[in-house]
Structure 1
Amino acid sequence: MLLWQAVATAAVAVVAGFWAGGDAAWSAVLGGTVNLAANAMYGFAYGLMRPTGPGGAVIAAVRAEASKILLVLLLLLAVVVLFRELVLAAFLATFILTALLFRLVLIVRD
Structure 2
Amino acid sequence: MPWIRNKPLHVVIRWQVLFTVFIALVFWGVLGLHGAISGFLGGMVNVVSSTVYAFIISHHKGFTAGGAIRTALRAEAIKIVVIIALLWTVFVVYKEVNASAFIGVFIITVIIFSMALFVPDNTKDIK
Give the TM-score normalised by structure 2.
0.81
Residue equivalent to 1:36: 47
**Unpaired stretches in structure 2, ≥5 consecutive residues:** 1-11, 121-127
Cα distance in 1 for partners of 2:90, 2:33 equals 16
- Residues 31-56 of structure 1, C-alpha deviation per residue, up to 9 Å, x if partnerless? 00000000110112223442231111
Residue equivalent to 1:14: 25
Greater per-residue helix proportion:
1
Q: 1:1-110, aligned counterparts within 5 Å? A: 1-106=12-117, 108-110=118-120
Against the structure 1 CA distance between its residues 109 and 45, is the aligned structure 2 distance closer, same or farther, given a 3 Å change threshold?
A: closer
The CA RMSD measured in Å over matched residues stands at: 1.2
- Residues 7-59 of structure 1, C-alpha deviation per residue, up to 9 Å, x if partnerless? 11011111111111001100011000000000110112223442231111001
Question: In the alignment, residue 109 of structure 1 is paired with which amino acid?
Answer: V
**Unpaired stretches in structure 1, ≥5 consecutive residues:** none
How many equivalent residue pairs? 109
| Identical-pair percentage | 34
Give the TM-score normalised by structure 1.
0.92
